């Protein structure tokens, strides 16, 4: 999926089958601000991990650093990919909107498989370090190629978490899988320039406006809200309302797209800081992160006050692009940021800051 609806509704667990319902005065609930904190923490971790994977020797010239950079460059999003992404997201949205009941099982199986892989990728470096690389030896598997033994050690754990979520629909397990998916995406795909970031985020901006505000006039229903709230898969992070009323637990939510897409720019901002030897607390990353948090906070307040679905990208795109562009302009680096970094430049300076 593409961008989603941040905090647009609050869902009840049980009883209503998970269909979200609006709750009055949700803007007064601390959970709305907790959404911002959770999103920020995830993005800080994901950006760090995309730059310097845990327990990996990122010394310039080392075999691990060169292999990682080669892999990362293979996942770089190009300008044309940004356009394709929005077209594919729109087509997927339409397919799910019209054939949700028929596709529900297929989508659940697909997401379960990807979420299990994402969870495995998230815990892999920590499990590898904890077991002192005991299971690092690779096995040649047909169709897959070389696979570390640790993959098979982690497989039952990941499968158990996914199965637990499928059976219980626990919001905690939902969030574990959703966070795994976010980090998996942000460490697998990256932006190479402000030009690509601007194209992607501006397209997402209009995509969000169309599918949230205008789709009901054409299709008779709000397509984005129906899909985001009707699919029972971990495509959103749920935060329980603290001042919840009623028999069932109620939630505020944020779609994964509202973390992942701005997250791509934040990952690029951290790489750009690193290439310049700028401390993360006073560079592009800090300014862009502050803008993201302000934008998401404003979105949460508007949602709470008006109780309407809000396309979060209206707030998050200017909230992230403007601070980044302002810092770049003030430092005379706008042209360089626009054209972007080469993998070599990043790789050369990767360990200079001790990030």
**pLDDT tens column, 21-51:** 334 444 568 888 899 999 999 999 999 999 9
The average pLDDT across 240-250 equals 80
Beta bridge partners of 240: 251
pLDDT band at 111 (very low <50, low <70, confident <90, very high): very high
The average pLDDT across 252-275 equals 94
In 51-173, the DSSP E strands lie at 76-77, 138-141, 145-148
pLDDT at res. 52: 86
> Does residue 353 have a pLDDT over 60?
no
Give, as one character, the DSSP assignment of residue 78: P
| Residue 221 main-chain phi, psi, to 5 deg | -145, 160
Could you tell me which residue, 1 or 193, shows the higher pLDDT?
193
Question: For the chain, what are the domain ranges?
Answer: 26-349
Could you tell me which residue, 94 or 1, shows the higher pLDDT?
94
Q: Is position 208 annotated as part of the catalytic site? A: yes
pLDDT tens track for 144-166: 777 788 988 999 999 999 999 99
Could you tell me which residue, 226 or 318, shows the higher pLDDT?
318
pLDDT at res. 189: 93
> Do residues 202 and 325 make contact, with C-beta atoms less than 8 angstroms apart?
no
The average pLDDT across 307-332 equals 92
The mean pLDDT value of the chain amounts to: 84
pLDDT at res. 141: 77
The average pLDDT across 252-257 equals 89
Out of 55-59, 67-71, 160-164, the most confident range is 160-164
> Does residue 243 have a pLDDT over 90?
no
pLDDT at res. 132: 83
Q: Which of 208, 232, 274, 352 is catalytic?
A: 208
Percentage above 70 pLDDT, the chain: 81
* 18-31 CB burial, b ≥16 within 10 A, e <16: bebeebeebbebeb
CA dist 253 and 322 (Å) reads 25
Q: Which of 29, 128, 258, 273 is catalytic?
A: 258
Q: pTM for the complete prediction?
A: 0.85
Q: Is position 352 annotated as part of the catalytic site? A: no
């Amino acid at each position: 999926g593409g961008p989603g609806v941040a905090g647009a509704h609050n869902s009840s667990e049980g009883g209503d089958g998970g269909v979200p319902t609006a709750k009055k005065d949700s803007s007064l609930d601390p959970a709305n601000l907790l959404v911002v904190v959770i999103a920020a923490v995830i993005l800080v971790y994901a950006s760090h991990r995309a730059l310097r994977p845990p327990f990996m020797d990122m010394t310039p010239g080392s075999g691990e650093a060169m292999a990682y950079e080669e892999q990362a460059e293979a996942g770089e999003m190009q300008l044309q990919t940004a356009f394709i992404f929005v077209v594919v997201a729109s087509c997927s949205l339409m397919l799910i909107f019209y054939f949700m009941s028929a596709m529900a099982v297929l989508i659940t199986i697909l997401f379960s498989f990807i979420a299990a892989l994402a969870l495995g990728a998230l815990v892999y470096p920590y499990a590898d370090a904890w077991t002192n690389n005991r299971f690092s030896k690779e096995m040649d598997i047909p169709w897959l190629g070389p696979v570390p033994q640790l993959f098979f050690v982690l497989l039952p754990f990941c499968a158990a978490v996914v199965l637990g979520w499928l059976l219980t629909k626990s919001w905690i397990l939902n969030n574990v899988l959703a966070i795994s998916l976010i980090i998996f995406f942000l460490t697998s795909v990256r932006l190479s320039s402000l030009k690509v970031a601007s194209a992607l985020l501006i397209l997402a901006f209009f995509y969000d406006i169309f599918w949230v505000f205008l789709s009901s006039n054409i299709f008779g229903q709000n397509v984005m809200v129906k899909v985001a709230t009707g699919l029972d898969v971990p495509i959103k992070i749920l935060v329980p309302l603290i001042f919840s009323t009623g028999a069932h637990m109620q939630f505020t939510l944020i779609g994964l797209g509202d973390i992942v897409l701005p997250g791509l720019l934040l990952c690029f901002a951290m790489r750009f800081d690193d290439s310049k030897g700028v401390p993360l607390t006073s560079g592009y990353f800090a300014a862009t992160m502050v803008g993201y948090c302000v934008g998401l906070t404003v979105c949460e307040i508007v949602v709470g006050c008006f109780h309407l679905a809000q396309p979060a990208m209206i707030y998050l795109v200017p909230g992230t692009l403007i601070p980044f562009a302002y810092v770049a302009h003030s430092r005379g680096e706008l042209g360089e940021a626009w054209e972007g970094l080469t993998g070599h430049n990043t790789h050369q300076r990767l360990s200079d800051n001790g990030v």
